[in-house]
Amino acid sequence: MTRTEIRAATSLAAIYMFRMLGLFMILPVFSIYARDLPGATPVLIGLAISAYGLTQAVFQIPFGIWSDRFGRKPLIVIGLLMFAGGSVMAAVADSIYGIVAGRALQGAGAVAGVIMALAADLTQEEHRTKAMALIGVSIGISFAFSMVAGPVLSGWIGVRGIFWSVAGLALLGIAVLYSVVPTPQRVRFHRDTEAQPARFSSVLTNPELVRLDFGIFALHAILTATFVVLPLILRDELRMDTPEHWKIYLPVFVLSMISMVPFVIVAEKKRQMKPVFLSFILLTAAVDVILAGFTPTTLGIGLLLYLFFTAFNLLEATLPSMVSKVAPADLKGTAMGVYSTTQFLGAFVGGAGAGWIQGHHGIPAVFLFCAGIALLWLAVAFGMQKPRHLSSLMVNLGEISASAAADLSARLRGVPGIADAVVVPDEGVAYLKVERERLDRSRLEALLNETAGA
């Protein structure tokens, strides 16, 4: 990667992280804080936690489309200002209703896809995977940091202070956008990062992609539902003050991140993705069943959360990788757009559903709700095909006619190790799905050189 590409990837990852911190930092503390708000009920508390998911799901694909027309940076600024405005609205709210509205406005500033598209504008095709991986890592770091920082900050500045802080982070993101992020020479559509609305039917009728979409829906429904009630258990059952909750979360997250690595290696390197994947869905269900009938102790909660987050981290890491493997070569962006939409819908359903269930049936019923979702997911995933170990590869071809593109696509599919190939003449790019171990690189290079010289 060039220096400009590295600067673009790191600064955009930072902006992405600022926004994700704002969404996640209240998760481990809000249920406790909200109990004393005027008008608060379990349903409204769950809705306040998850309202961002609904608006994020509604607006994220339109934001990407608008950014193609009006520019990336202006749309990112609009989204971050909406996010900051929602944070301020929540910070000054004197009732639960104001926080629900603020969280919904936070989610409506749905710039995640626009950030990805800007990263694509600023990186060469052969380096784009590295840039996207860096942004992906920033998401994981922001989530883990939020679980620890949220309780600590709540003790220092309170939950209102957290909302003010994340408003400041959004404004800092705008400053980074214009002072550090390069401006692309041109904005164009990227099939690997952006959705094609006209092709949604191809994604929504693909049974393997639908299974994975349901998977991320279920995973984030379970996660959000868990944090509607988990802080209450730590506070009321274990008698831990909210600022002390980090003492549970920190070791749990560190150990779970370390523990998942061997299983990821087995899944990817040993070609055991399906059995590992199904096993960790089952582990998630088992943990929730135990939590439903468990008398909480500090050691017991710590052990169960360690198992839960080991499963969560592994599933969260493998799902997008599987989507990338399964999606047709020129539909990765569309597949990921639908996938992200279902992820945020899952967060909304999980939070709202958990709030209603807690209010009517109590905390144990919430964990049974999560276990039921996990078991349904297990049934859906059980019929999945064994994932092929494919990687996405993009090749910049330059100017090419439609007839030459069609001919090259057919010839590329004949190269050993290439499972799918689509050449898009308007973009001058070849989108490939390859088995790297089998790929005949010399034949591929010879074919590309022949095309370049034609």
For the domain that residue 418 is a member of, what is the CATH number? Answer: 3.30.70.100
> Once rounded to an integer, what is the mean pLDDT over residues 71-79?
95
| Domain-embedded: residue 194 | no
Q: Is 258 exposed, middle or buried (0-12, 13-18, 19+ CB in 10 A)?
A: exposed
Give pTM, 2 decimals: 0.93
| Domain-embedded: residue 195 | no
What local confidence, expressed as pLDDT, does residue 78 receive?
96
What local confidence, expressed as pLDDT, does residue 393 receive?
81
**Of 133, 158, 186, which residue constitutes the final position of a domain?**
186
> Once rounded to an integer, what is the mean pLDDT over residues 174-185?
92
Q: What CATH number is associated with residue 289? A: 1.20.1250.20
Highest mean pLDDT among 128-132, 144-148, 349-353: 349-353
| Contact of 418 with 432, CB cutoff 8 Å | yes
Taking all residues of the chain, what is their mean pLDDT, rounded to a whole number? 91
What local confidence, expressed as pLDDT, does residue 58 receive?
95
**Of 186, 213, 236, which residue constitutes the final position of a domain?**
186
Domain holding 125, by residue range, is 1-186
Shared domain for 76 and 214, answered yes or no, is no
Shared domain for 240 and 361, answered yes or no, is yes
| Contact of 181 with 47, CB cutoff 8 Å | no
Shared domain for 23 and 146, answered yes or no, is yes
> Once rounded to an integer, what is the mean pLDDT over residues 234-250?
93
What local confidence, expressed as pLDDT, does residue 303 receive?
96
- The Cα 225–Cα 46 span in angstroms is 8
- The Cα 85–Cα 96 span in angstroms is 17
Shared domain for 447 and 349, answered yes or no, is no
What are 363-410's pLDDT values in tens digits? Answer: 999 999 999 999 999 999 999 988 778 888 888 887 888 888 888 888
Which 3 state secondary structure label does DSSP give 419?
strand
Whether pLDDT at 218 is above 90: yes
Shared domain for 172 and 301, answered yes or no, is no
> Who wins on pLDDT, 255 or 199?
255
| Domain-embedded: residue 193 | no
Q: Which residues contact 237 (CB under 8 A, 6 or more apart)?
A: 296
Highest mean pLDDT among 57-71, 194-208, 211-225: 211-225
Pick from 304, 34, 295, 303: nearest CA to 154: 34
Whether pLDDT at 452 is above 70: no
Whether pLDDT at 129 is above 80: no
| Domain-embedded: residue 152 | yes
> Residue 420: phi, psi to the nearest 5?
-155, 145
Whether pLDDT at 431 is above 70: yes
What local confidence, expressed as pLDDT, does residue 109 receive?
92
> Once rounded to an integer, what is the mean pLDDT over residues 240-248?
93
Shared domain for 214 and 173, answered yes or no, is no
| Domain-embedded: residue 103 | yes
- The Cα 46–Cα 253 span in angstroms is 23
Shared domain for 91 and 144, answered yes or no, is yes
Shared domain for 379 and 421, answered yes or no, is no
| Domain-embedded: residue 418 | yes
Total structural domains in the chain?
3
| Domain-embedded: residue 34 | yes
Shared domain for 266 and 380, answered yes or no, is yes
What are 14-70's pLDDT values in tens digits? Answer: 999 999 888 899 999 999 999 889 989 999 999 999 999 999 999 999 999 999 889
Shared domain for 177 and 251, answered yes or no, is no
To the nearest 10°, report the CA torsion of 76, 77, 82, 86.
Answer: 100
| Domain-embedded: residue 301 | yes
Q: Which of 37-41, 279-283, 434-438 has the lowest mean pLDDT?
A: 434-438
Asked whether the CA dihedral 260, 265, 266, 271 is positive or negative, the reply is positive
Shared domain for 262 and 334, answered yes or no, is yes
Shared domain for 53 and 146, answered yes or no, is yes
- The Cα 229–Cα 403 span in angstroms is 59
- The Cα 116–Cα 432 span in angstroms is 20
| Contact of 104 with 51, CB cutoff 8 Å | yes
Q: How many residues does the chain have?
A: 454
Whether pLDDT at 454 is above 70: no
